[in-house]
Structure 1
Amino acid sequence: MLFMINSNKMFFLFIVFFSTLISISANSWLGCWIGLEINLLSFIPLMSNPNNLLNSEASLKYFLTQSIASINFLFSILLNLFLLKNFFMNNILSILINSSLLMKMGSIPFHFWFPNIMEGLSWFNCFILMTWQKISPMILLSYYMNLKFLFLIMIFNVLIGTISSFNQTSLRKLMAFSSINNLGWMLSALSISENLWMLYFSLYSLFISIMCFLFYIINVFYINQLFNLNLNFSIKFSILINFLSLGGLPPFLGFFPKWMIINYLLYNNLFIISFIFTMSSLIMLFIYIRIIYSSFMFYSIKLKWYKIFIKNNFMIFINISSFISLLGMIISTLFFF
């Protein structure tokens, strides 16, 4: 495992993974709802910690918001069963189902719980919340999509995720708003093709896992801690590479799925949406580069005996992944074209 967790939580982690498989492989909406409920009830013990009040508060907030989303989802699928179908009712039902699943993911306009809960979690739980917990709501969303509604949600996701990232001092909140921004890209990838969504989600999960692991091993939670610590250069370089990949800067590997999405939007004459997506990525890159530039340039503590060296075998994998990400656009271009 990337992070140290005890054997009791390993059991609940297995149930979280298993419940996602139940949800995405169910052949009825009720089976999907049962999988989501099992996922909710198994993730809460992973979040809660009796020695940390922030974790307990975050688990309570998560339970309340996810319960509301589950109630809305169950109400929507029951309406779908019993109401007469016509064009107007189908639109209303699709918006209701989509809204409940968007609330599960922490998307706009139901995103207010997401940064607050992220602030009270460990880096391992943040990683699960930003990646694995989005799989089942997104796959269920692909079954019953209201594209006109979702295009509006995509635009607000990338805009609000970008604007809210300004002046953040907490790394966890910054990663939460970055996740909201990337959620807009993932929804657009899902509306295009499930294969494109799987590619984008896999690369996003890789970058997020490396970022969360790096922040975990150097034990930082706020941006100014990156300025104060004399970190090993390879750690700072890996943080730089993965921040730029998350922002989608060429020639890094994170640019490749965004490039495919923008190509599709331009091909279908969706110029305004592609312009908003591109500008939001540029602003996110500005935010990331400002943090990384400051952490490279500033050294508040210059003590020879206060130098941090991380002895961890996983750092070799992180350095290799960073190198692949640096050359990834060239490699992917050779393979795909």
Structure 2
Amino acid sequence: MFFNINSNKMFFFFMLTFSTFISISSNSWMGCWIGLEINLLSFIPLISSPNNLFSSEASLKYFLTQSIASINFLFSILLKMIFMKTFEINNLISIMINSSLMMKMGSAPFHFWFPNIIEGMSWLNCFILMTWQKITPMILLSYYLNTNFLIIIMIINTSIGAIGGLNQTSLRKLMSFSSINNLGWLMFAIMISESLWLLYFFMYTFLTSIMCFLFYIMNIYFINQLFMFNMNFLFKFFLLMNFLSLGGLPPLLGFFPKWMVINFMISNKFLITSFIFIMMSLITLFFYIRIIYSCLMFNYLKLKWLKIYFKNNYLFFILFNSLISILGMILSTLYFT
């Protein structure tokens, strides 16, 4: 299987999925809040493990942070019901609702909990937190957008996601800051249209799943492990190319949704915003290229302490998905010609 999943936890996976559908299909704010609470209570048993102190700490931190965000969200929707016809207060309420939802998904400047919690999780839980757990807050955010406030938040997201990943040695924290950076792009995509957001989110989930699966089967959690392990050159090449695709380097697949967002920004005169987004993407590519350069240059054989062997089905799955990621330029060319 992709990940070893305990049969006792399948129920919580089902509830996690079910709670998302409750929130996004609800016709009232109270129903959305109930879905968010079910989501919170079903994800905590997936994180916590009695054999791992880090996961227990991560589950406690996650519970406290999400509880604060849920209280703020509930308080905001109650204020909205009371002051429904007051325009000035409605503007403040929209900022409060947006802020509580951004805290739910780990968006900057409410991201203080996100990298620390990811550091204590397994790769499966990291993948869920970076992808599935963003669906409900993002869709609820699209119901009640405060455009001027969100543009500032998007710029902060891309900046913190890029700068925060510069000094990281942990791959989980690196992926978390990459997730914060991509969150800024996702917010802009959902402001444009839901179909573009779905495309961007699908591409981001696909690329993140490849990276998490690779790190899971290699049991890698830190960058220096990439230097020590003696792995097949073709496998290493695909691993490093997936880094570049996740960073959005043209003409790889990760650049395809970013290209469409940039086109919309330029056509609608968001020139300064597009410039900041592109520059922050270049910073993320810088630390990805730094990892790639180190992995390829550190070829001293005495450093290669461990030879990694992969099962054939794992290798085929990785190579197939990596080829899709690397050959994304064909899709980009066909779409824009």
TM-score, normalised via structure 1 length: 0.97
The 8 Å contact of residues 232 and 307 in structure 1, kept in 2 or not, is answered as no
CA separation in 1, counterparts of 2:200 and 2:303?
42
The 3 A distance-change label for structure 1 pair 30 and 330 is same
The 8 Å contact of residues 229 and 304 in structure 2, kept in 1 or not, is answered as no
Which residue identity does 2:208 align to in structure 1?
A: I
Is the aligned partner of 1:187 residue 2:206? no
The 8 Å contact of residues 228 and 299 in structure 1, kept in 2 or not, is answered as no
Which residue identity does 1:207 align to in structure 2?
A: L
CA separation in 2, counterparts of 1:305 and 1:283?
32
Give CA deviations for 1:102-130 in whole Å, capped at 9, x if unaligned: 00000011100000000000000000000
Aligned to 2:91: 91
Unpaired runs of 5+ residues, structure 1, are none
The 8 Å contact of residues 230 and 308 in structure 1, kept in 2 or not, is answered as yes
CA separation in 2, counterparts of 1:278 and 1:306?
38
CA separation in 2, counterparts of 1:251 and 1:21?
35
Aligned to 1:132: 132
Aligned to 1:153: 153
Is the aligned partner of 1:296 residue 2:296? yes
Matches within 5 A, 1:6-25: 6-25=6-25
Quote the offset at 1:303 in angstroms: 8.1
Quote the offset at 1:336 in angstroms: 5.3
Question: Which has the higher mean CA deviation after the structures are superposed, 291-300 or 254-263?
Answer: 291-300
CA separation in 2, counterparts of 1:130 and 1:290?
23
- Give secondary structure in 2 for the equivalent of 1:313: helix
Matches within 5 A, 1:221-232: 221-232=221-232
Matches within 5 A, 1:220-259: 220-259=220-259
Quote the offset at 1:38 in angstroms: 0.3
Give CA deviations for 1:222-246 in whole Å, capped at 9, x if unaligned: 1111111112223322221211111
Which residue identity does 1:176 align to in structure 2?
A: S
CA separation in 2, counterparts of 1:300 and 1:79?
63
CA separation in 2, counterparts of 1:257 and 1:274?
14
Give CA deviations for 1:108-167 in whole Å, capped at 9, x if unaligned: 111000000000000000000000000000000000000100000000000011111111
Aligned to 1:210: 210
Is the aligned partner of 1:286 residue 2:301? no
TM-score, normalised via structure 2 length: 0.97
Unpaired runs of 5+ residues, structure 2, are none
Give CA deviations for 1:270-324 in whole Å, capped at 9, x if unaligned: 1110000001111111100110111122146548994212114133122122212
CA separation in 2, counterparts of 1:183 and 1:70?
20
Is the aligned partner of 1:3 residue 2:13? no
Is the aligned partner of 1:333 residue 2:333? yes
Which residue identity does 2:68 align to in structure 1?
A: I
Number of residue pairs the alignment of both structures matches: 337
Question: Which has the higher mean CA deviation after the structures are superposed, 1-10 or 313-322?
Answer: 313-322
CA separation in 2, counterparts of 1:195 and 1:15?
26
Question: How large is the Cα RMSD of the aligned pairs?
Answer: 1.4
Aligned to 2:162: 162
Matches within 5 A, 1:1-150: 1-150=1-150
Which residue identity does 2:137 align to in structure 1?
A: P
Quote the offset at 1:96 in angstroms: 0.6
Quote the offset at 1:84 in angstroms: 4.2
CA separation in 1, counterparts of 2:299 and 2:217?
20
CA separation in 1, counterparts of 2:305 and 2:218?
16
Question: Which has the higher mean CA deviation after the structures are superposed, 7-16 or 133-142?
Answer: 7-16
The 3 A distance-change label for structure 1 pair 163 and 29 is same
CA separation in 2, counterparts of 1:88 and 1:315?
58
The 8 Å contact of residues 108 and 157 in structure 1, kept in 2 or not, is answered as yes
CA separation in 1, counterparts of 2:68 and 2:334?
47
CA separation in 1, counterparts of 2:85 and 2:20?
30
Give CA deviations for 1:192-217 in whole Å, capped at 9, x if unaligned: 11111100000000010110010010
The 8 Å contact of residues 108 and 156 in structure 1, kept in 2 or not, is answered as yes
